Amino acid sequence: MKSSRAGLDTIMESEVATLSGTVWGEMAVNINRFEPGCDLSAMIAQLSTGSCQVPHWGYVIEGSLTIGYLDGSTESVAAGEVFYMPPGHNSVLTETGCLIAEFSPAAEMAALQEELGALLAE
């Protein structure tokens, strides 16, 4: 299986982020663009668990992002680096903007997208 960015479905689009993806087998495959100054902390805080409980594996195609965790730790990943975001991350931000390829368990990602969709509809 393969796809270009243009062949992926738009999952969410806002002024600060565009998430596009599909599902292959048991994995959600996403290409996500975060605009400069994007900070998803407030949105993540509104989730029922107060953090994102979906694990994400990925690769930063361009730019960089900083991921925050419930224990107060943070880590930054930049273009050319792979990453693993375990459950319990509560912030994702970028000063410069970034483009990432991301892989997550499909069922968990679908539940997250449903909850985010409900929050955005309010």
> The domain spanning residue 79 has which CATH number?
2.60.120.10
Q: Which range is least confidently modeled, 4-13, 54-63, 65-74, 87-96?
A: 4-13
pTM, full prediction = 0.92
59 within some domain: yes
Q: Quick one: average pLDDT of 28-48?
A: 94
Cα separation, 68 vs 89, whole angstroms = 6
3-state secondary structure of 117: helix
pLDDT at 1: 86
72 has a pLDDT exceeding 90? yes
120 has a pLDDT exceeding 90? no
pLDDT at 57: 98
Q: How many structural domains compose the chain? A: 1
